[in-house]
Structure 1
Amino acid sequence: MLKFVILLSAFSCALAAPQPEGLLPQLDGRIVGGVATTISSYPWQISLQRSGSHSCGGSVYSANIIVTAAHCLQSVSASSLKVRAGSSYWNSGGVLVQVAAFKNHEGYNSRTMVNDIAVIRLASSLSFSSTIKAISLAEEAPPTGAAAVVSGWGTKKSGSSSLPTQLQSVELSIVSLADCASRTYGYGSQVRSTMICSYTAGKDSCQGDSGGPLVSGGVLVGVVSWGYGCAYPNYPGVYSDVSALRSWVVDAAGSV
């Protein structure tokens, strides 16, 4: 999975939260402060694999459609991608299915990270079971303080290149769009209308978790997108807001 780290610029001096130093833009993501778990607890979770290696997460939308992040599908061909579903381990078990095609949101912007969402069509349909299930898309964003959970095979600390083989999860709290863009946190105007945030001190998604699911109330509310480091104080994880992008996902799933 990938988590995008953006270097804040001129406006940062006006923000209440101090800006971390020395971070370069990068595509990668991971679970920080979480625990090992099993796929039966998160049966919608998949590992998106590029040329045999885990690269991003994703969520099962239907038997042959996966929802992930657009930044996970840049400069890559469908023929080099596969999806592993139904396994607690990204490198074994479950089923490994070839990607037939994918579609990125037409309004995705790699600089601002708006509309960071995509759908994947599999070459063959998944068979649903206790370890492979679809998850519904949120129709509205949860309020600040709502309980949420993010899962994935991303690194366990910022800057690490080592991915756990077993699925990890971490419980977080939702931060509303308005609150995330406020002076309470460090992003300000970087947070746009197609984004939602989560924040719990010492816990976050990270490198390798990109594209993976943020779930609240039993529905998919976010797709791991970007953040400033991983679990940095006053810098929430930022996700694509599924409720804001729901109609695009539904339409794209029927046309990819």
Structure 2
Amino acid sequence: MLTILHISSCLQLSREEAMLKFVVVLSFVACALAGTIPEGMVSLNDDLGGRIVGGTPTSISSFPWQVSLQRSGSHSCGGTIYNSRIIVTAAHCLQSVSTSVLRIRAGSTYWNSGGVVISVAAFRNHEGYNSATHANDIAIIKLASSLSFSSNVRSIGLATSTPGNGASASVSGWGTQKSGSNSLPSQLQYVNVSIIDRSKCASSAYGYGSVVRAGMVCAAGSGKDSCQGDSGGPLVSGGVLVGVVSWGYGCAAARYPGVYADVATYRSWVVNNANSI
């Protein structure tokens, strides 16, 4: 998920890149960074503030459609199982990357062990994705081999309509848990939030204004949000996928809800491209 944050001098990111709610975790970094870091991993800085904010540890059996999208063995984004060969994620998670370094881990509560790891055969970003406006921030991934469904590995349906304002929803992922932390939780986290429809999210009740565009939906709770490391992951309401974690100003910041790609808007695009990729 893109978010506005302070970036250390070790890495220069554009304002647009710094807004997305994803975390790039590198195996090799020229800068020495403080904090507890999973073995073989270094995050960009200790100022990310990225996490499932206000969340609770959970197990994959409660969110069996959730996958970890990984680059060179490190968690970078979330994703959602659409069918046994197709994963739905965010377009910003798949910029400047080749399929050769991408894997998904499915069927595990832990991003770094268990379940099954499958290579990526191909991916397709929405042709209208715009990194400056965050419009059309959705993509699909085709796996090199099919997932075997079980109690821990299941697909989830796509929303046919956007939930109404105030509808209950949940978002899950492996984003870091508190501001100033360099460590990713190994265990899946989730948080319950409420839908804020696009027109309300773009109104004066919140701080985004016209930055929230068609094809986006917002969600938030008091002290609850998705954040870096959760990008591409599922926002679920009524038993279907209603949003894909995309961007936001900060995480759980007052008047700035998390912003998601509205799955109902992109349902036809996902279905059509899943059949042709």
Asked if TM exceeds 0.5, the reply is yes
**2:209 & 2:51 partners in 1: Cα distance?**
23
After superposition, give the CA deviation of every residue in 1:71-92 in whole Å (9 maximum; x if it has no partner): 0000000110000000000000
Aligned pair partner of 1:186 in 188, 201, 207? 207
Please say if 1:230 is aligned against 2:251: yes
Contact 2:2 2:17 in 1 (8 A): no
Contact 1:137 1:243 in 2 (8 A): yes
In the TM superposition, residue 160 of structure 1 has moved relative to its aligned partner by 3.5
**1:226 & 1:82 partners in 2: Cα distance?**
23
**1:23 & 1:60 partners in 2: Cα distance?**
27
Map 1:56-135 → 2, pairs under 5 A: 56-135=77-156
Amino acid at match of 1:207: Q
**1:162 & 1:95 partners in 2: Cα distance?**
23
In the TM superposition, residue 30 of structure 1 has moved relative to its aligned partner by 2.8
Contact 1:68 1:120 in 2 (8 A): yes
The alignment partner of 1:182 has SS state of: coil
Partner of 2:25: none
**1:23 & 1:211 partners in 2: Cα distance?**
16
Contact 2:135 2:213 in 1 (8 A): yes
Amino acid at match of 1:146: A
Aligned pair partner of 2:160 in 139, 148, 155? 139
In the TM superposition, residue 5 of structure 1 has moved relative to its aligned partner by 2.0
Percent identical among aligned pairs is 68
- How high is the TM-score relative to the length of structure 1? 0.91
The alignment partner of 1:201 has SS state of: coil
| Gap regions ≥5 residues in structure 2 | 6-14, 23-49
**1:23 & 1:107 partners in 2: Cα distance?**
16
Please say if 1:25 is aligned against 2:23: no
Partner of 1:175: 196
After superposition, give the CA deviation of every residue in 1:80-112 in whole Å (9 maximum; x if it has no partner): 000000000000000000000000000000000
| Cα distance change of structure 1 residues 249 and 159 upon mapping to structure 2, 3 Å threshold | farther
Please say if 1:254 is aligned against 2:264: no
Partner of 2:217: 196
The alignment partner of 1:196 has SS state of: strand
* Number of residue equivalences: 240
Partner of 1:5: 3
Contact 1:47 1:83 in 2 (8 A): yes
Cα RMSD, aligned residues only: 1.6
The alignment partner of 1:62 has SS state of: coil
After superposition, give the CA deviation of every residue in 1:49-88 in whole Å (9 maximum; x if it has no partner): 0000000000000000000000000000011000000000
Contact 2:19 2:248 in 1 (8 A): no
Contact 2:3 2:228 in 1 (8 A): no
**1:158 & 1:62 partners in 2: Cα distance?**
35
**2:157 & 2:16 partners in 1: Cα distance?**
35
| Gap regions ≥5 residues in structure 1 | 8-21
**1:25 & 1:4 partners in 2: Cα distance?**
6
**1:24 & 1:105 partners in 2: Cα distance?**
17
Contact 1:158 1:207 in 2 (8 A): no
Amino acid at match of 1:62: N
In the TM superposition, residue 26 of structure 1 has moved relative to its aligned partner by 4.5
Contact 2:87 2:142 in 1 (8 A): yes
